[in-house]
Amino acid sequence: MRVSLVDLRAQHAPLRHELLNALARVLDAGAFIQGPEVQAFEDEFAAYCEAACAVGVASGTDALALALRALGIRPGDTVAVPAFTFAATAEAVCHTGARPIFVDIDPHTFTLDPAALRRAAHSHGIRAVIPVHLYGQPAAMDDLVAVAKEVGAVVIEDAAQAHGARYRGRRAGTLGVCGCFSFYPTKNLGALGDAGAITTDDAGLAARLRALRDHGQGGKYQHACVGFNSRLDAMQAAALRLKLPHLDRWNGRRQALAAAYRDALHDVAGISMPATGPDRDHVFHLFVIRCRNRDGLRRALETDGIATAVHYPIPLHLQPAFADVGYCSGDFPEAEAAAREVLALPLYPELSDEAVAFVCDRIRNWERT
């Protein structure tokens, strides 16, 4: 048996006819930039997230960068981000001219540690904080929002991996002043290319975001500010509209597969299962274990035909791209330990129970050798 990490063909095969019809609808309408498909998706996604507004943009990275600008983050400002996440979170800060302030993570949930944030916030005078709902689990938002209020910082959720997740009953994307989503094809809700969105209950913020994404236009050829070309493609919106009604079912299957992994691997020596924080609904964009001999396990699984991945092998404060921020090895020990130990196992809604059993059997066999 060969087991892939993800399989988009398996997701798209049963939807192929409907997807082609949705794309043909856009083609026949001839409205490729914004237009009715984008407006309809924004309305439907806002309703799904239980937010007042959703603003479609070109990518998840643009969602973060535009949110920062719309909230008044400027060159020289400081923005707190986790030291352990994908580079886009810190890139977006740099694109505004602001400086990322890296913060260590909770070793159990991989999300921003509120105590570490408090220390960083009072040391650096941050203007904003971007908690990342890593791997599909919301961060400890009540504690993080409380810290932000202490220092007068705005909270922008990076919900790129957490479509449909909940924290104390509220959807990801409604826990800060706004939430930023990526619809990269492998996400829980994935487009057929790059796409993104920002959710918010602030109508004024939504209006600023709509202007920024479209060259600063408040009306046609009326440029109130210098903006960007970051509009959600109508083809992507049509595909996302088709997929959105399936999201809760897909997330439920992800959770069931995660439970199967936990049941089969909970007593394997040297491996730690992902922890779910209290009052959090983890949607398992990735199922990530920790293993001190991570690379040895990964090589063994590869030999057995099982694909895995490391999200992420280098924490952000040690990436060359952020060397000028001024951190060094040892500054964020939990992020560095996670980078050495994390391993994502195959997980996607169409993955079979038999494939999960095979992966678990191979891991248990590796443990015995």
- Give, for 55, the enclosing helix (H) or strand (E): strand 53-57
pLDDT on residue 155: 98
Amino acid identity, position 74: R
Tell me the pLDDT of the chain averaged across its residues: 97
Mean pLDDT of 311-335: 97
The full set of domains in the chain, from first to last, is: 8-245 (3.40.640.10), 246-368 (3.90.1150.10)
Q: Sign (positive/negative) of CA torsion 247, 238, 66, 178?
A: negative
pLDDT 10s digits, 174-190: 999 999 999 999 999 99
Residue 354 reports pLDDT greater than 90: yes
Residue 218 reports pLDDT greater than 90: no
Chain center to CA of 97: 22
Q: How far apart are alpha carbons 8 and 233 in whole angstroms?
A: 20
pLDDT 10s digits, 228-281: 999 999 999 999 999 999 999 999 999 999 999 999 999 999 999 999 988 999
pLDDT on residue 277: 87
Q: Phi and psi (nearest 5°) for 332?
A: -130, 80
Q: How far apart are alpha carbons 119 and 214 in whole angstroms?
A: 38
Q: What's 269's DSSP letter?
A: T
Mean pLDDT of 141-169: 98
Q: How far apart are alpha carbons 143 and 129 in whole angstroms?
A: 12
pLDDT on residue 319: 98
Q: Decide if 219 contacts 22 (C-beta within 8 A).
A: no
pLDDT on residue 314: 98
92 pLDDT band, cuts 50/70/90, is: very high
Amino acid identity, position 33: I
pLDDT 10s digits, 183-209: 999 999 999 999 999 999 999 999 999
Rg (CA), the chain: 21
Mean pLDDT of 18-31: 97
SS3 321: helix
Q: Which of 198, 184, 136 has its CA nearest to residue 162?
A: 136
**Which residues have C-beta within 8 Å of that of residue 248, sequence separation ≥ 6?**
164
Q: How far apart are alpha carbons 116 and 369 in whole angstroms?
A: 39
Burial class (CB in 10 A: 0-12, 13-18, 19+), 226: exposed
Residue 15 reports pLDDT greater than 90: yes
Can you read off the two tokens belonging to residue 353?
């129970």
Chain center to CA of 163: 8
